[in-house]
Each structure stands twice: as structure tokens, then as C-alpha cells.
Homo-oligomer: A and B are copies of this chain.
């Protein structure tokens, strides 16, 4: 087996030109598919190219054209179903428009995100889709625009940047979910998110992730509107892994008047919460109710199946991809925030409590 033995220098247009006995320029015209060449010469060059197994060097091509045909994506975590679905949507849109995709994981860490963005700028991608880990540190994102590259934000919006963003209708989704629980008679509602937060103090306006912030705002607004006291009391961040989540849940339930319903901010958190409750021997929805964001596969096969906020993530990704492509192709469009609507998929994880009408005596 010595077919892989010769790591010989790749074939270039010049080689093909020589073999076809034409000038480099002519060979390049045929191979690159531009300009005019006579049919005869074209065949000649094509034959030579085939014989030599010529493969264009996209790097060189990109360098002279200034377009790489690649769009860069920086996501929080591909392992998360939310992002892998989104990536799929983006890739599909990209491929349809003739672009390829290069993916970087930030792990939701700002530093990693910065260097990923820098690197992709360096690679001269034609455009960038980023899921910003924080909405309050945006210098590196400004660089993108300054480098003349279009940028589309995904899942989180940063109005100050003045770039397009594709998000869910997070506030409305949280409102729908919370309202559903309130209407089922729940008076003590908890919201659990994976957002990593430094200090213990919770200040809604300070939440650096717009998706999380808006959900919390929506959640809180429902409780306020329903006249429930202390709406922030059961909002908990930091459920980043199973032990953390177990701790969060345990603390929540050890309260004097523990929550009877929990809203989980994504499917990973939802799964962790589910496992936590299960390990505590609590039954859903008899002992406690829950709703999770994202219609992940596990939510429909549990007992009971989980009521979820269905985010059409694939569509979000596709939309982001299409938007970026439009920007790359310089189609004039106003900068806007595209919201993809969500819907509540009602299954059986929320119990109706305290009769049909709202109870007045609870606070």
C-alpha cells in the first residue's frame, strides 16, 4: 500500500496550464469558471485538469476574491440539544446559499468567546453568528462590524450593538407558562435557570443574558399581576449541573411555604430538575408541577410527559442563517430583532390545585 506514500505537491493551475499547453490565465479562466474561453481550449484544459486530479486551492481563491464562502458560528455548547438543532438550521440555510460553516464552542465562557470571534475574523469568514455569553461585554463583537463583517446574534439580543438578532419571544413564552400555572391554581412558583451568576444578589436588570432576563421579567410580571407577593423570591440561577441543581431544589423545597410549580429555563435544566425531584421521591404533578423550556426528546417519554414551551429552534437557526446570508449579499435591510414565536405544549406535568377558580386566601 504505497498509494498514500507520495505526499507530492498539490496540482496548481500552472501545472494544468502547462499540461494543456495554454497560459496560466486561460487555464485559470476555465478552472475558475469566469471570463471567456473557446470550447476547444476549455475541453483541453478540463481534460488536463482531470488527468492531473486538479483541486482548486480555496485558500488562494479566497485570498484574491476576498470571500471565503464560510460563515462562522460561535455557540454556547454544541452538546446542548438547543444549540445542535440551531446549528443544523444555520447549516442548512448556509448550504442552500452556497456557504459552509465553521463552528466554535464558547462553553458560555466570555474568554473563549472572545478568542473564537477573533480567530474567525482572522480566518476571514464572510459573516458571523454568535450566541453572546454576556450582553454587557461587547467590545469583541464591535470588532466584527469594524472588520467589515456582518454579524447576527442568536438567542440573545444586544440593542446597543445595532445588529440583527434572532431570538425566541422569551418574555411572552415565560408569561404563557407562568400564567398557565397560575391559572391551574398555583400560588408559589419557582423559576430555575442555569445562568452562572457571581454574587448571590439577584437584580433582574443586571442579568447579563437577555433571554434569561426577559424570561424572568415575564415570569415575575405574571406573579405581580396575579397579586402574588414577593415574585422574585423563588427565582433561582446557577443550576449548572446535577449536584448544583439538587442543592437548588432542596433549598427551594425546604422553604416554609415551598413552591408547588417549577419553570425550568432550558431542557438541560429541566432534565436535572426532573431527576432531582425524582430522587427526592416526589411525584409529578401530584407533589409538584413543572414546565420546561424546549421540546426536547426526553420530555415526551417521561411519566408524566412534561408540559413544555416549544421553541422552534431549527427555524430560529435557519432564520439566523438566512439573515446573515442576506447581509453578506448586501441586501438592504433594516437592522431588526427577529422573534420566533413559541407555543405551550400542554402535557401532564402541571396539576390543577385548589379548585377551579383562583384561590384568594393564599399569600
Q: Which A residues have a C-beta under 8 Å from some C-beta of B?
A: 1, 3-4, 7-8, 10, 53, 55-60, 62-63, 68, 70, 77-79, 81, 84-85, 87-88, 91, 95, 100-105, 118-119, 121-124, 142-143, 145-148, 162-163, 271, 274-275, 278, 296-298, 300-303
Contact = CB atoms under 8 A, between A and B. Distances in A.
Given A78-B84, A124-B57, A70 B102 contact: yes
A122 B57 contact: yes
A330 to B, nearest CB: 10
B147 A55 contact: yes
Nearest to A62: B59
Contacts of A300: 275
Contacts of A58: 119, 122-124
Contacts of A102: 70, 100-103
16 contacts: A3-B146, A4-B145, A4-B146, A7-B148, A8-B148, A55-B147, A59-B62, A59-B124, A63-B63, A70-B102, A88-B105, A91-B103, A101-B102, A102-B103, A271-B301, A298-B301
A95 B103 CA distance: 12
Contacts of A146: 3-4, 53
A121 B59 CA distance: 10
B105 A55 contact: no
A132 to B, nearest CB: 16
A119 B57 CA distance: 10
Contact of A84 (B62, B79, B298): B79
Contact of A122 (B55, B123, B275): B55
Given A102-B100, A302-B302, A10 B148 contact: yes
A57 B298 CA distance: 44
Contacts of A101: 102-104
A91 B103 CA distance: 9
B162 A1 contact: yes
Given A59-B62, A63-B59, A118-B55, A100 B104 contact: yes
A68 B59 contact: yes
Contacts of A85: 79
Nearest to A298: B298
A311 to B, nearest CB: 15
Contacts of A147: 10, 55
Contacts of A301: 271, 274-275, 278, 298, 301-302
Given A88-B78, A91-B78, A143 B70 contact: no
Nearest to A105: B91
A121 B296 CA distance: 35
Contacts of A70: 102, 123
A265 to B, nearest CB: 17
A243 to B, nearest CB: 16
Given A142-B3, A301-B298, A79 B88 contact: yes
A73 to B, nearest CB: 9
Which interface residue of A4, A70, A124, A146 has the most chain B CB atoms within 10 A? A4
B78 A81 contact: no
Given A59-B63, A84-B84, 12 more contacts: A10-B147, A53-B146, A58-B124, A59-B62, A60-B63, A63-B63, A78-B87, A88-B105, A91-B105, A298-B301, A301-B301, A302-B303
A230 B121 CA distance: 59
